[in-house]
Amino acid sequence: MPSKDSRQPGYLKIGGVGTGRIFQHAHLPAYPPFLSQARLVGFCDLSPERAEAARSKYETLLRERAEKHPEAAEAIRDNIRELAVYADLEAMLEQVDAVDVATHARSRMAVAAAAFERGVHAMVEKPMARTWSEAGRAAGILEKHPGVLCQLNDDNIFDPKYRLIHGLLLRGEIGAVQLLSVIRGCPLESDSLLPQEITALENGGGALMAYGSHGLAGAFSLFRPGGRPVKVEALDISLRHPVRTVKGKPFRMEVDDNAQLKVLMENDETGDWATVFMEATICGGHIGLGREKSGGQSSGYLEIVGDRGMIETLDESRFRLKYWNGGEEIIPVLQFPAETISFQTEMKSFFDACRAGAEPGFGLAFGADVIAACGAAYLSAIRGAAVTLEELKDYSRGFVADRGDGAEADDAIILDLLRPYREAGALSRRRTARSPRPTPPARRSSGAPGIRTS
């Protein structure tokens, strides 16, 4: 294995950390077109078998590309010779320029921080952290290493629909934005969820973290430059289905499965403000705003109201631009297989930033704001009132002061914020043990008006 100092110049060497489902099915296919800019060379996972499976799959993808693009055959052969599986993260960090972090959420910031300390860039899958304090700790390490970069890899931000709409907003097509409404999620019978995505300490939350972080990242990106989240109010955060099927097995929920909230956005440059309404769900069927709507990424509900007009999603291939002074326009959205183009675009953005030595458009601070907004929503549900991001940060600092700036404080924050849903799950368990009667309809708890308990 060549030493880090003898790496071949001209392209970035990338190491994949956490080589499971999202990495194999979404990240791997995005790499082959970028051989001249960046090459995936390392695979590190707690499971050596999973890392080897990813390496083998990527070699197959490279060979398939060589058949279709003979001009790239030599570069592909060179890349295949570089492929290596690592059981130890430290060893891989000595061999790469950047890491693609797709571990469970619990480990993402720890892996990124380890990379920063060794001068290695990182792009981190969403949600990039479970708590704001977790993201803040990594940000403190990043600040000590000038020139090292970090990007939030949330494909909503780089989705063609969002990028097209962002351009329209920058041109002022609908004037100053007043309200953005977005729904992200999946139906109750979805087979896309994994247990670690809806386990409190693994993912930091339920629907709000699994899909809400997606929806908020996409929404916040549309307010850039200048726009930032300031205050969050939980309208209703619920555990509606205490027991469900996940990957074909019964799964007892202890996290939220539906969340509705609103976020106050302020623009530091203009002083303008707007509201984001978001619903995140992993139990579908009742997705609201007056009528049932889809929460899918491409076909999901997205409506933006400005003082001159509005933009609304019609389906996965079209949206409508409507002007208040009359007239409307139907705008097509380019279609691509699955989410390939979103992942390719986010990777190109990261590679370009690394090569230019420039901060990515959506870095660690942006990702930390998304996580802070999610935490503020959970805290708002407990307090029954709107919570500013600064209040959420002060709340988090209290745990850090008591328990140290580490995993113990992060876990305590999560358990405290998710206590109502854990208690709702436990209540359901006790009822089930006593009697086979069905669980009563959901109701709000008297002490926390933003929480539906059971």
Q: What is the pLDDT of residues 150-170, one digit of tens each?
A: 999 998 898 888 999 999 999
Computed over every residue of the chain, the mean pLDDT equals: 88
278 and 389 fall within a common domain: yes
Q: pLDDT higher for 436 or 159? A: 159
Do 435 and 423 belong together in one domain? yes
Query: Do residue 47 and residue 188 come from a single domain?
Result: no
Choose the final residue of a domain: 315, 330, 362. Answer: 362
Q: What is the pLDDT of residues 114-136, one digit of tens each?
A: 999 999 999 999 999 999 999 99
pLDDT of residue 298: 53
Q: Does residue 409 share a domain with residue 266?
A: yes
Query: Which pLDDT tens digit goes with each residue over 77-88?
Result: 999 999 999 999
- The three state secondary structure string of the chain is CCCHHHCCCCCEEEEEECCCHHHHHHHHHHCHHHCCCEEEEEEECCCHHHHHHHHHHHHHHHHHHHHHCHHHHHHHHHHHHHCEEECCHHHHHCCCCEEEECCCHHHHHHHHHHHHHCCCEEEEECCCCCCHHHHHHHHHHHHCCCCCCEEEECCCCCCHHHHHHHHHHHCCCCCCEEEEEEEEECCCCCCCCCHHHHCHHHHCCCHHHHHHHHHHHHHHHCCCCCEEEEEEEEEEEECCCCEEEECCEEEECCCCCEEEEEEEEEECCCCCEEEEEEEEECCCCCCCCCCCCCCCCCCCCEEEEECCEEEEEEECCEEEEEECCCCEEEEECCCCCCCHHHHHHHHHHHHHHHHHCCCCCCCHHHHHHHHHHHHHHHHHHHHCCCEEHHHHHHHHHHHHHHHCCCHHHHHHHHHHHCHHHHHHHHHHHHHHHHCCCCCCCCCEECCEEEEECC
The whole-number pLDDT of residue 209 equals 96
pLDDT of residue 341: 79
Read off the CATH number of the domain in which 214 is found.
3.30.360.10
In this prediction, residue 151 carries a pLDDT of 98
User: Both 131 and 224 in a single domain?
Assistant: no
Q: Say which CATH number the domain at 68 has.
A: 3.40.50.720
Residue 285: band (very low, low, confident or very high) from pLDDT cuts 50, 70, 90: low
- Looking at the fold, whether 195 and 307 belong to one and the same domain comes out as yes
Same domain, 418 and 312: yes
Could you tell me if 230 and 300 lie in one domain? yes
pLDDT one-digit tens code per residue, 396-432: 999 999 999 999 999 999 999 999 998 887 665 555 4
Q: Are residues 175 and 36 in the same domain?
A: no
Domain span at 302? 156-339+363-454
Tell me: do 420 and 311 sit in the same domain. Answer: yes
Count how many domains the chain has. Answer: 2
Average pLDDT over residues 90-101: 98
Q: Same domain for 334 and 425?
A: yes
346, 423: one domain: no
pLDDT tens, position by position, 189-243: 888 888 988 999 999 999 999 999 999 999 999 999 999 999 999 999 999 999 9
Residue predicted with more confidence, 282 or 442:
282
